[in-house]
Amino acid sequence: MSDATVLTPGELAARARRIVRDQNTWRGSQTLNLIASENLVSPGVAELTVSDFSHRYAEGEVGKRYYEGTRYVDEVEDLCEKTFNRMFGSEYSNVKPLSGAQANLAVFMGLAKPGDDVASLDVPNGGHISYREFGAAGCRGLTVNNIPFNPAEFTVDTEGLAQLLQSKKKTLRVVTLGGSLILFPHPVREVSRLVSEYFPEGDVVVHYDAAHVFGLIAGGRFQDPFSEGAKVVSSSTHKTFPGPQGGVVLAKSLDAKKTSDIRKAVFPGLVSNHHLHRLPALLYAAAEMMEFGSAYADQTIRNAKRLAKSLHDHGFKVVGESRGFTESHQVAFDSSDMGGGSRTSSLLASANIITNKNLLPGEPLKNSRDPSGIRIGVQEVTRIGMKEAEMDSIAELFHELLHLHADASAVAAKALKLRQEFPRIHFTFT
Ligand SMILES: Cc1ncc(COP(=O)(O)O)c(C=O)c1O
């Protein structure tokens, strides 16, 4: 794949430039990007990502740094933290984590010690690898318990969870909701009520991983985990929330000791310098969401619902039918009858339609290399201005390719044409 051993330094430098040009052209403007964890940033966010902040260090907290020269870092970090508190109703905000997985590790480090128990959804039921035994939670030495899940209803089995809480009275520290496959809100209110009932002393924290739905929450169109009883919310800043790649931890009604333990887990625990170039871009993205977030989240969810319905009408086995397919930016379908997730996602990619293969609820984890599902997210195509009519067109392309076995290059040409009708990013300042 690589000829790195023979290229001259000049050729390597030219290659780096060419790779970026090709990536920008191909993924940036020629494909229908339906990866549920991605987004396009606006020109304003892109512009603010490249600055002198890229070269600087600012270990420490706002106003209490270990380095000189941090006047503007303090200004922008303080504004980010306060803006996130304002948008999400939190009392504490930390924008230092470099990613959502790192934010989750900070939560686990702050709230639990090695040997403690935590509970989260298993990966096939939507849980992210970072709160499983082979991810961040395992790296912290935690014992990971599965939150029981009802795959038919696509929701947490709260009766089963009550039994788990009862059986882990002494060692449980964190219950994590949220996930990577999240079609519907999670029962945060019911789970918070159960946790308060079983742990009245407050030793167990309800944590909500909002990585996927952060932009929808910001727009006020998805569940508000804090008002439903979660005390800690972690997230990526670049999925439905269209910011630079990074992470965030927010807290509300969390006792001072636990808040401080999370803060220390982030710095000096996991982050030395927090890659400062993200911060002005993050602030800009937050401002975009304050101004345009409701309209964006609204259209995103409308588009997801329409795409799900349209795929269903074309005979796809769309997940979550009994609950109206989706309440988020995601749609998932079972592709077993078309050769499974690996074959289907790769065929779609050959037609300029980028998705990912995904385990579906109830499926064994061992299927992860070739799971049965396809996961789709419509937030990026929504950001470029697509609406319900285009969702029908996309469903039609899926149908032509996967059911009618149309030539992939013919479908690719149609996908390209559709993509190029939408050259501009919407929901941003002009
Ligand atoms: C629910 C959830 N949490 C956390 C993460 C990790 O986020 P990041 O890629 O920013 O580390 C992901 C990644 O897709 C995710 O789906």
Q: Residue 338 Cα, ligand 1 centroid: separation in angstroms? A: 28
Please give the pLDDT value at position 77: 98
**Domains, the chain, ranges and CATH?**
47-283 (3.40.640.10), 293-420 (3.90.1150.10)
Please give the pLDDT value at position 30: 95
Q: Binning pLDDT at 50, 70 and 90, where does residue 4 land?
A: confident
Q: Which atom of ligand 1 is nearest to the CA of 37?
A: 14
Give nearest CA residue, ligand 1 atom 14: 37
Tokens of 400: 């032509």
- Report whether 97 contacts 247 (CB < 8 A): yes
Does the pLDDT of residue 70 top 80, yes or no? yes
Please give the pLDDT value at position 5: 87
Does the pLDDT of residue 158 top 70, yes or no? yes
Return the bridge partners of 29, or none: none
Does the pLDDT of residue 1 top 80, yes or no? no
Please give the pLDDT value at position 3: 82
Give nearest CA residue, ligand 1 atom 8: 100
- Mutating to test ligand 1, I would choose from 212, 266, 275 the residue with most ligand atoms within 8 A of its C-beta, which is 212
Mean pLDDT of 101-119: 98
All residues at 6 or more sequence positions from 172 whose CB lies less than 8 Å from its CB, including other chains? 116, 117, 118, 119, 145, 165, 199, 204
Mean pLDDT of 84-94: 98
Q: Residue 189 Cα, ligand 1 centroid: separation in angstroms? A: 23
Mean pLDDT of 64-79: 98
Name all residues whose Cβ lies below 6 A of ligand 1.
37, 99-101, 104, 128, 130, 178-180, 209, 211-212, 236, 247
Mean pLDDT of 285-295: 98
Q: Which atom of ligand 1 is nearest to the CA of 237?
A: 10
Q: Residue 287 Cα, ligand 1 centroid: separation in angstroms? A: 22
Q: Residue 389 Cα, ligand 1 centroid: separation in angstroms? A: 30
Q: Residue 186 Cα, ligand 1 centroid: separation in angstroms? A: 17
Q: Which atom of ligand 1 is nearest to the CA of 210?
A: 1
Please give the pLDDT value at position 118: 98
- Mutating to test ligand 1, I would choose from 99, 128, 176, 208 the residue with most ligand atoms within 8 A of its C-beta, which is 128
347-388 pLDDT, tens digit per residue, is 999 999 999 999 999 999 999 999 999 999 999 999 999 999
pTM of the model: 0.98
**CA dihedral sign of residues 101, 103, 108, 114:** positive
Please give the pLDDT value at position 69: 98
Q: Residue 65 Cα, ligand 1 centroid: separation in angstroms? A: 29
Phi first, then psi: what are they for 249, rounded to 5°?
-125, 135
296-330 pLDDT, tens digit per residue, is 999 999 999 999 999 999 999 999 999 999 999 99
HEC per residue, 306-364? HHHHHHHHCCCEECCHHHCCCCCCEEEEECHHHCHHHHHHHHHHHCCEECEEECCCCCC
Q: Residue 242 Cα, ligand 1 centroid: separation in angstroms? A: 14
CA distances from 224 to 110, 139, 231, 318, 378 (A): 23, 29, 11, 26, 21
Q: Which atom of ligand 1 is nearest to the CA of 246?
A: 10
Q: Residue 163 Cα, ligand 1 centroid: separation in angstroms? A: 28
Mean pLDDT of 37-52: 98
- Report whether 229 contacts 193 (CB < 8 A): yes
176-225 pLDDT, tens digit per residue, is 999 999 999 999 999 999 999 999 999 999 999 999 999 999 999 999 99
Mean pLDDT of 11-37: 96
Q: Residue 425 Cα, ligand 1 centroid: separation in angstroms? A: 24
Q: How far is 254 from 246, CA to CA, in rounded Å?
A: 23
Question: Rounded to the nearest 10 degrees, what angle do helices 188-198 and 158-167 cross at?
Answer: 30
